[in-house]
Chain A
Amino acid sequence: MDPNQKRAKAVDRVDSVDTGAASSESTRMCPFPDEVLERVLSLIGSHKDRSSVSLVCKDWYNAERWSRRHVFIGNCYSVSPEIVAARFPRIRSVTLKGKPRFSDFNLVPEDWGADVHPWLSVFSTAYPFLEELRLKRMAVSDESLEFLATNFQGFKALSLLSCDGFSTDGLKAIATNCKNLTELDVQENGIDDLGGHWLSCFPESLSSLEILNFASLNSEAPQLMELGTGTFMQELVSGPVTELKNTFSNCKHLVTLSGLWDATPLYLPVIYPACARLTFLNLSYATLRSIELANLLTHSKSLRRLWLLDTVGDKGLEAVGSCCPLLEELRVFPADPFDQEIFLGVTESGFVSVSRGCPKLRYVLYFCRQMTNAAVATIAQNCPDFTHFRLCIMNPGQPDYLTKEPMDEAFGAIVKTCTKLQRLAVSGLLTDRTFEYIGKYAKNLETLSVAFAGSSDLGMEYVLGGCPKLRKLEIRDCPFGNAALLSGLTKYESMRSLWMSACNVTMNGCRELAKEKPRLNVEVMKDEGSDDSQAHKVYVYRTVAGPRRDAPPFVLTL
């Protein structure tokens, strides 16, 4: 049910009960004075809880909106900046997400949208005291960064994740103008590295910086001596490891270590002294072998999160299983995703080893070239607490390599055993049965990613008919058509978004969805040279802001 509709109803209901003036003390439903209620509500952080609070009655709605300091906007087109500013007058911190996730994989053309500037314009008048801005998959220009740096005097924390459109010039503007900066987090962005030593633009007197992370850049060899000494350094991303030798021996407080893309085996021991208290180690840019990893891990027994390249092989993962009993998150990326070299990477055996030694695992992202149903069933038994299970068997449609069966039972085992599962990405050869399992058992599932899977419309129908908490569904290259799309008519307004690309959906199917559900934006991205009746890329999302006014020519809103 559309929460906006529900909220409107709640307000109406209260109005009809109130006999006198809206805020008359004698007829108010709520016994607390405004100030007390606001004070109490200001202690509530979770935006989901706040949404619930705002639905109780008109007084609570008002108290909530005045006490809210942070707003989370999961889809920038679901609402407009004007609406946000009108409802929440006292925001200090904004999280804003833009493009569909598949844009990370080049499935969304450039100039699709999600420009942050209109938001900054509104915020500059509505929230001049804005302190924090966290952007994900937004289009951010240097002009916008400069605007941000010069229009918000108390600005403290900027996080840019998977954004694009800016260069180091924009970062220079931030470094130069934000006198109170405590956090600058710039990761995985499509950034133009124009060099220019933007790091040196931080004023000498800047003592407030606590978090500095710029994993997007190659050119800047960080002058970490100046930045690191004396300050609690949460995360650092390194260039040549040799430069950091002294820094590491001083880094007794280091809890996060990232990068090391020049880490040849000779230099790894340099970081051993810093490893004892490490809880997060990101080695996904370092082509380590199993033996090097094993040596490193014997120094890092406190690890909770570990990112690796599959060059470490199954042997390396055995070391993970033996050394990291507290491990909660593991991500294994492929060093050679396009099979250019002869490369084994990791197999089901490595995954099983980790699951045996790390029963607290809850988040896994695993790229591999072979998998079996039996292995995944074992893994599920060993690690029943999975909240995020993302398995990528890199050959599309590949079956269990031993039995040649589809991988249905693997994911069946996961959803049946791991009742806390919130996020699932499936791969391999999958029939509709996988989706039957998911729809039936995955009661807490919020995000599902599907590629090259399913046999018929039924697959998608199972998911849309089950999964009560589903919020994001992203599908590519599956044989799901209009019947499947339309089976979710009653569900889409309770979800953030649906993405379908290279499926069997037609323009007519999309038009029908748009007609039936006016509160959804049904957008189709047109492709050059493709059949006009096919809807090649479909993006559906709920919104209170109506159709996009900034849509480029290749985006059709139906």
Chain B
Amino acid sequence: MELELSLSPPYQKTPSIINKSFHGGDDDRCSSTVTRFPRVSWNQDEDDDNNKRFFNGEYQQDMDGDGEGLIGWPPLHSWRKRFMEENHSGGEGFNGRVDEEGENINVMNNNYNELLFVKVKMDGVGIARKIDLNAIHSYQMLTSTLIHMFHKYVENDEDGASYKLMYQHKDGHWLLAGDIPWEMFIQTVQRIQMVRK
């Protein structure tokens, strides 16, 4: 599994590209950058006027060198984390799709439907994500899924109104998403970018 970091997040000094290796050695790259900044609000729903700051404390945060966020969080044994990456990297094992009842559908072997993973990037966020477009059936669902995925970085904006969705056509140029029917869209889309208006 690759993690590509192409834009430095505001809290990190230098961009870097990291490959995960089974035998660790990540420690060298984990420069913990100590930055003080106030906790952001987690309030993501309609109640945006309040925008309460739940957390008063200002404190240092250990930022992981490979852009995953916090070092050692969630608190999973590093051996277990490495194992899951080695053996169940995205697209091969399970894809986290959800069926009508909200149950996770896990693709155990590739006999299930084709997976259609495209990279999604959001302006200002260094971490690219992947999304399986075959699990999504409309632009509406795409937008709300992306909001959910990037909710940590979206403030005061639960419906994505301040972002526009651009996609890279297989010809290479960038277009505004939503103009062509969904079925055509998923045939041609290579990657997606959420651009601030």
Contacts and interface: CB of A to CB of B under 8 A. Distances in A.
A315 B69 CA distance: 30
Contacts of A333: 76, 80
Given A338-B68, A342-B149, A503-B59, A395 B90 contact: no
Contacts, number: 171
B143 interface: no
B30 interface: yes
B20 to A, nearest CB: 11
Interface string B133-151: 0010000000001001100
Contacts of A338: 68-69
B77 A218 contact: no
A287 B42 contact: no
Contact of A530 (B34, B55, B95): B34
Contact of B104 (A289, A392, A478): A289
Interface stretch (B105-113, B165-173, B188-196): B105-113
Contact of B79 (A102, A190, A397): A190
A324 B15 CA distance: 49
Given A337-B81, A404-B43, A311 B106 contact: yes
Contact of B130 (A334, A341, A502): A341
A536 interface: yes
A528 B56 contact: no
A343 B71 contact: no
Contacts of B23: 190, 192
Contacts of A504: 59
B72 interface: yes
Given A290-B103, A340-B90, A451-B73, A429 B54 contact: yes
B131 A399 contact: no
Interface string B1-28: 1000000000000000000000110110
Contacts of B27: 106, 109-110
A369 to B, nearest CB: 10
B162 interface: no
A340 B129 contact: yes
A398 interface: yes
Contacts of B86: 218
A107 B72 contact: yes
Given A451-B73, A527-B34, A528-B31, A188 B80 contact: yes
A529 B34 contact: yes
Nearest to A105: B72
Nearest to A192: B23
A406 interface: yes
Contact of A335 (B94, B108, B135): B94
B96 to A, nearest CB: 3
A550 interface: no
Given A218-B86, A343-B104, A404-B43, A104 B54 contact: no
A287 B88 CA distance: 9
Interface string A329-368: 0000111111111111100000000000000000000010
Contacts of B69: 338
A396 B73 contact: yes
Given A340-B130, A454-B57, A479-B59, A105 B71 contact: yes
Given A105-B72, A341-B130, A397-B39, A285 B102 contact: no
Interface string A371-415: 000000000000000000000101111110000101000000000
Contacts of A397: 39, 42, 54-55
A42 to B, nearest CB: 37
B181 interface: no
Contacts of B105: 289
Interface in A503-539: 503-504, 527-531, 534, 536
B155 interface: no
Contacts of A102: 72
Q: Which of under 10, 10 to 19, 20 to 34, or 35 or more describes the interface residues of A?
A: 35 or more
Given A342-B131, A397-B55, A527-B32, A392 B75 contact: yes
A188 B75 contact: no
Contacts of B59: 477-479, 502-504
A133 to B, nearest CB: 20
For chain A, what secondary structure do more than half of its interface residues adopt (helix, strand, loop), or is it mixed?
loop
A341 B118 CA distance: 11
Contacts of B178: none
A491 to B, nearest CB: 23
Contacts of B187: none
A162 interface: yes
A105 B31 contact: no
Nearest to B56: A455
A429 B55 contact: yes
A287 B106 contact: yes
Contacts of A315: 101, 103
A342 B32 contact: no
Contacts of A529: 31, 33-34
A451 B62 contact: no
A282 to B, nearest CB: 12
A402 to B, nearest CB: 11
A170 interface: no
A183 to B, nearest CB: 21
Contacts of B56: 455, 479
A216 B79 contact: yes
A451 B62 CA distance: 12
Contacts of A110: 27
A287 B93 contact: yes
A60 B5 CA distance: 64
Given A311-B94, A342-B131, A190 B78 contact: yes
B49 to A, nearest CB: 14
Interface string A183-194: 000001110100
A264 interface: yes
Contacts of A406: 54
Contacts of B83: 261, 285
Contacts of A449: 75
Interface of B: 1, 23-24, 26-27, 30-34, 39, 42-43, 54-62, 68-81, 83-84, 86-88, 90, 93-98, 101-106, 108-109, 129-132, 135, 145, 148-149, 152
22 contacts: A104-B78, A104-B79, A105-B71, A105-B72, A105-B77, A106-B71, A188-B80, A189-B79, A264-B109, A287-B93, A287-B108, A289-B106, A333-B80, A336-B96, A342-B132, A344-B102, A392-B75, A454-B57, A476-B62, A476-B72, A502-B59, A536-B34
Listed from nearest, the 9 A-B pairs whose CB atoms lie closest are A105-B72, A479-B57, A341-B96, A343-B96, A264-B108, A107-B72, A502-B60, A530-B34, A394-B74
Given A335-B94, A337-B76, 8 more contacts: A105-B77, A107-B62, A289-B106, A315-B103, A338-B69, A396-B70, A406-B54, A529-B31
